[in-house]
Each structure stands twice: as structure tokens, then as C-alpha cells.
Structure 1
Amino acid sequence: MTEVVPIPITLLTGFLGSGKTTVLNTLLRHPDFGRTAVIVNEFGEIGLDHELVVSSTESMVLLQSGCMCCSLRGDLLDTLIELRNGLDCGEFDFQRVVIETTGLADPAPVLHTILTRLEVAERFVIDGVVTTVDAATGIDGLTSHEEAQRQIGLADLILLTKTDLPQADEPAIRNRIQSLNHGVPVQPVVNGAIDPARLTGLGHFDPAMKSQAAQEWMRQTSVEEGSPHLQAIRSVSWTIDQPISGTAFDIWMDLLMVRRGADLLRFKGLIHLDDIPYPFAVHGVQHIFHPPVPLHDWHGAERRTKFVMIVRDFTDPELEDLFAALNAVPVTEHILPSGYLSAEVA
């Protein structure tokens, strides 16, 4: 039986006017993106070049091999299902999907759809979230709109646009980006010019992730000193030196989901378990978590549990108590964990 290889999806997001469509137009002209299906919502706003579009629907447009071959109606879920069906019956032939969101979109619901709906998850996999940020006016958007903050907080890669404009304040916008998603790679882009390889293989939910890549994926090792007591959205992290119980971790995660799951915008963790020689990569968005990925080995001599989280409205004392509670969680026969790690360890 032939193994079905999941189709990678790149989620391209960014605030209004930050240059998403310019980047997309450039990518579609590149041979490496020739067999790419592109889903764009609110087509009327995007203005794709005429040679790339023959016709369009009200809300969604599919481009393949540089031209329009089919138009699909309906919401994101319906569109992905139609793409899957067309691929299975030979009507479509594509190797990748790019979803461009509107400028005011929260990326989390798109990720939820792809992760939680079986009819989508069995054929598609998130390859990464790419966010465009305007170096000239991006600070204003981040100050006024939580959606812009969430777009950065959920990103695996930031494309910093309009750095060539005289109004650009690159140091200021870089500092703001790092406060929201510390360590996220930032790639300057002028007029949409970007190597397509830079946008692929970001390892967001890659079960083939190797230990060194996972360490780089974590990027951050400790909470910075002097972080604000209360900030709407920010990046925090933590390390635990001693191995932890898989059952205790499951219970702790259940408690975290019940209490503050909606405000946990992004979670990444390398987990060091008792009596397990290799680490686990755990990652999720709000209440939705991908199955844990067992890695082959640790990279280097360090053996510590590490967490990186993008959170909303968490105070510093709350975070301190939250992580301190992990080692204090009682392990009893009366509590049934949800299985973030236990099923993998068993």
C-alpha cells in the first residue's frame, strides 16, 4: 500500500498593508512554487497580477502552476476538502498549499481547522506560519490591534518589509517583534523578493524533526529579567533542570488548559522525562496540541526541560507559580491525564 505523503501548508499572514500579496506574487513566479495551490480570502483586497489570475470567486481563489485552473467556493474547510478530493481524483496536481489570510485575521482559527478536522488533518500538515511586518508603519498596528500582535506571536518566520523606506525604523520594530515572539527569525524583504526555500520546512509540526533542529526551534532558554508585570501579549520561557514525570506533565497541562488555555496563544516544549533517554517535542495553539514528537537524541550535553510560550494577560507572579507547580503536581491513581505524553511513553 502506497504511503500518502501529507501536503504541507504555509500560512501567510500579516497586518493590513504589510506586503503579503507582494510576497505571494513573487513566490508564484518562482519555479519551485509552480505546483502550489493558493487560497486567498477576500480576493477583492489583494489585487494579484493579471497574468496570474484568469477569474476569481467572491472569497476564495485557487492558483496552480502560475495560472487559474479552478475556482472554489465556500469557507476554508470546504475549500481544503475540495482540494483533497480534486487531488485524489487527478483533477488537481499540486505539492503545496499557501493560505493568505486577511490583514485583520487571527491565524489561530486557521491552525485549529487544519489540526482538528480529520478530513483535513489526514492529508495536510502545517509547514509553518509566515508573518509579514511593515518596518515603516508596523509599530502603529501593533499598538492598536491585538490581531497584529497575535500574527507575530504565532509566527515561525517574520518577513520584515519596507525596510528601504525613509520612514522605516528597523531597530524599533525588531525590538517589538522580539518582545512578542523572542528568537523568531526575522528576514528583511524588499519588494517581495524572498527565496522560496526560506519559507518551507520551518518544522512547525514536523514529525521528522531532529534534535539539533528542535533546539533551534526552541530558540529561547530563560525568562528575561525585567519583563513587564502585565502585558497583553508577550513571549516567555522557562527551564527545569531535573527530569519530570510524564504523568505529572499530563496533569499539569490539563490544569493549564482548563484555567488559561484560551490565553495560551502558542506553546513549545522540549520535555525531559524520567527514565527516557530522548526528549519529546510538544507544541500547540491554545487548546489544540499536536501529538508529541519523540526525538532521536539530545543535541549536545544539555538535558533540561524547556518551555517557550506566547501568552496573553499572564502576570509574572502567575507564571512563576505556574511553572513551580509542575514539580508539585501529585501523581495519584485517581487522576486520569489526557495523554499529552503518557501514550507516547507507554
Structure 2
Amino acid sequence: MALIPTTILTGFLGAGKTTLLKRILQEQHGLRIAVIENEFGQENIDNEILVQDSNEQIIEMNNGCICCTVRGDLIVALGTLARQRDAGQLQFDRVVIETTGLANPGPVAQTFFVDEEVASHYLLDAVVTVVDARHAMAQLDEHEEAQRQVGFADKLLLSKTDLVDAAALALLTPRLKRINPRAPIAHMDFGRTPLAEVLDIRGFNLNDKLELDPDFLAAETAHEHEHEHEHGAACAADCAAPGHHHHHAGHSDDIAAFVFHSARPFDSAKLDEFLGGLVQVYGPRMLRYKGVLLMQGADRKVVFQGVHQIMGSDLGAKWGEDEVRGSKMVFIGKNLPKDIFIRGLEQCLV
């Protein structure tokens, strides 16, 4: 039986996750979706969708969707749904999990790799993060959870864009791309967005080609140059003064991304050893990492990805005859030592 594609829907408090889910649950789209509310408090879908006083854990909607409230273990809930589906008691062909607004998506994503029963029934399709355009800059400044939610995302959905002007969006968008260059950004209007922006993204599919924002490397270089210019010119006279401290313009995020790329192939044994060491030391701080690799003597691409300490790889498509061969890797994490990663990867090249 085919695996059930599953989407993790996350986003900070008030971003608009529930509004989006209400629309998915009520719209006549012809899809049979099981929605799991993975909540720790009282933030639930509105009463007209979930009857909070009811003892029922699962409520079937009139459009073929199912809504399931979860107060306990997500693994247990997923296993229960799968068994009921196998027994013909429930009918659904995909799952959306909404996390609480203060959740770190990492442990939820890891569920799909660490539990055998879950892995045998479900395929993690993508992490979709709703970002409140009106409040995101402040939330990213003040809450590491907001940074993690952006860093984990395979797709970012901007909500409340009608409440901000073009100048505010022009500040927010590059910041989101610096935190997570691999997540496409789409807009959501009062929960209305094409379902293709939420479902079947295949962000976690190992055979998918890695796509990075083509402007990310240029933006990263410009960002570094900007700070060098600030120190070189504006601070020249003051740097010698006792007690002088640098104050960067803009925002400093603990969660950030960087990219490694090389036209030289990797030595597979050296790379395996180095990546294994990285995961052991820095795994808890490595939110997401993914890449397409050129390996010595291989005629196919190798696609790898990971979440924290869980890492996997798979064979991708064959290299095209006219295709420029090379490796491209992105790492997203909290205060990762970029220089150590880059130098170590360079030492694994043939």
C-alpha cells in the first residue's frame, strides 16, 4: 500500500494556521484529508469545526475530511489513524498536522524517521510555515521558535500582507531568505491559497532535485560586504577608542543558512566520516540540511538530507551529458560554525 503523504503545518502564534485549516476542512476540493491538531494548550480550531465538549477524538467533515484532536503522543495518534484506515473504518489519503504556535517543528519531523510503524505508513511530504507579515520582524527578533519554524520550512506562506506596505515586505523577504534560502515564498490571503502551495510539495523527497534561491549566494556576499564596509569606513576613527563596540545595522538571527558548492567530486569515505562527525557534534543545532552531491566515479547524483541527528541519502537522476557537474549543499541551523563546515567539506574533495 502506498505511503500516506503528510504535511506539517507550523507558524508562530496568530500567523493564520487555523484560518488556513478551516478553509481546507470546509472547501469542496474532493480530497480526503485527515487533519491532526497537535496542541499542548487550548488553541484549537473554532467551535464550529471542533466541538471541544465532545468526547469524540475524531470528527468527520461533510467534504470527506477528518479532524482529529491530539492531546498526547503524536506517534500513537498516527498509528491509530493508520490502523483504522487499514481496517476500513476511516477513509483518507493524506494528513495535515498543525503544531502549536510555539512548537519546534524538529521533533515532529523526526517522528517520521524514528518510529517504525509511522515510517511504514506515512511519507513526510513537507514542512509548511505560515509567516505573519505584519509581526514577523519582531517575532524573529524576540523568539527563537519563530526562527526555527522558518528554518525548518520547505515552503513559506506569507499571511497578512494586506496590513504591510511594499517597504516592509522588502525588508522581511530577504531576511526570510537569509534564514532559509531553499524554501519558496508564496502569499496567503485570509487562508486562501492554492492547495498546491500546501500539499504535494515533496520537500522531504530524497529524489527531488535541490533548488536554492539563485540570488542567495549573491545576497550572502553582499550582506558580508556591507558589514565590512561599515567597519572599514564608518568605524575607522572609533575602533581604536576604549570600550568601542560594533553595532550591525539590520537584524541578527541565531538561525541562519549557508551554502557549500564545488565542481570537484567528493571522496565518499571521507565525506561519510566527516558528515557523521558533524552530526554527532552539531546535530542538535542543525535544523535542516540537504544537498545534491557529485561523487567520485558515480554517474548519478547523490541526494542527501537530514534533520538534527537523522541523516539519509539516496541515488538521484543521472548526470546529463551537457550538465555542469558539481555539488551543492545547504545547511540551516543555530549558530553553526560555517568555517569549520566549509573547511571540512573541502578536505573531503578528491
Alpha-carbon shift at residue 206 of structure 1 (Å): 2.1
Which of 85, 106, 115 in structure 2 is aligned with 1:108? Answer: 106
Whether 2:250 is the aligned partner of 1:252: answer no
What residue number does 2:181 align with? 182
Alpha-carbon shift at residue 73 of structure 1 (Å): 5.7
Taking structure 1 as the reference length, the TM-score comes to 0.83
What are the within-5 Å matches in structure 2 for residues 113-152 of structure 1?
113-152=111-150
2: CA distance, partners of 1:220 / 1:181: 12
What residue number does 1:12 align with? 9
What residue number does 1:324 align with? 343
Alpha-carbon shift at residue 303 of structure 1 (Å): 0.6
Alpha-carbon shift at residue 27 of structure 1 (Å): 1.6
What residue number does 1:28 align with? 25
Taking structure 2 as the reference length, the TM-score comes to 0.82
2: CA distance, partners of 1:139 / 1:103: 16
Amino acid at match of 2:2: V
Amino acid at match of 1:216: E
Deviates more, 1:237-246 or 1:176-185: 176-185
* CA deviation map 1:110-139 (0-9, x unaligned): 011111111101110111010000111111
What are the within-5 Å matches in structure 2 for residues 52-91 of structure 1?
52-54=49-51, 63=60, 65=63, 74-91=72-89
Alpha-carbon shift at residue 296 of structure 1 (Å): 1.9
2: CA distance, partners of 1:138 / 1:153: 13
Deviates more, 1:27-36 or 1:257-266: 27-36
Which of 37, 41, 51 in structure 1 is aligned with 2:38? Answer: 41
SS of aligned partner of 1:205? coil
2: CA distance, partners of 1:10 / 1:143: 27
2: CA distance, partners of 1:90 / 1:53: 23
Which structure 2 segments of 5+ residues have no match? Answer: 229-251
* CA deviation map 1:35-56 (0-9, x unaligned): 1111113373134361x33556
2: CA distance, partners of 1:328 / 1:184: 29
2: CA distance, partners of 1:310 / 1:66: 37
* CA deviation map 1:15-50 (0-9, x unaligned): 000000111111222333641111113373134361
2: CA distance, partners of 1:219 / 1:156: 16
Amino acid at match of 1:298: W
What residue number does 2:236 align with? none
Taking structure 1 as reference, are residues 75 and 321 closer, same or farther at Cα in structure 2, changes over 3 Å only?
closer
* CA deviation map 1:127-161 (0-9, x unaligned): 10100001111111111100000000010111100
Which structure 1 segments of 5+ residues have no match? Answer: 332-346
CA contact (8 A) 2:112 2:124 kept: yes
Alpha-carbon shift at residue 202 of structure 1 (Å): 1.6
Alpha-carbon shift at residue 72 of structure 1 (Å): 6.0
Alpha-carbon shift at residue 186 of structure 1 (Å): 0.9
Give percent identity, aligned residues only.
Answer: 33
What residue number does 1:334 align with? none
CA contact (8 A) 2:151 2:332 kept: yes
Alpha-carbon shift at residue 207 of structure 1 (Å): 4.8
- Cα RMSD, aligned residues only: 2.8
1: CA distance, partners of 2:101 / 2:346: 41
CA contact (8 A) 1:222 1:239 kept: no
Which of 211, 214, 232 in structure 2 is aligned with 1:216? Answer: 211
Deviates more, 1:258-267 or 1:97-106: 258-267
Taking structure 1 as reference, are residues 218 and 134 closer, same or farther at Cα in structure 2, changes over 3 Å only?
closer
Amino acid at match of 1:75: D
CA contact (8 A) 2:38 2:70 kept: no
CA contact (8 A) 2:206 2:303 kept: no
What residue number does 1:269 align with? 291
Alpha-carbon shift at residue 7 of structure 1 (Å): 0.2
Taking structure 1 as reference, are residues 298 and 27 closer, same or farther at Cα in structure 2, changes over 3 Å only?
farther
SS of aligned partner of 1:119? helix
Aligned length: 319
SS of aligned partner of 2:75? helix
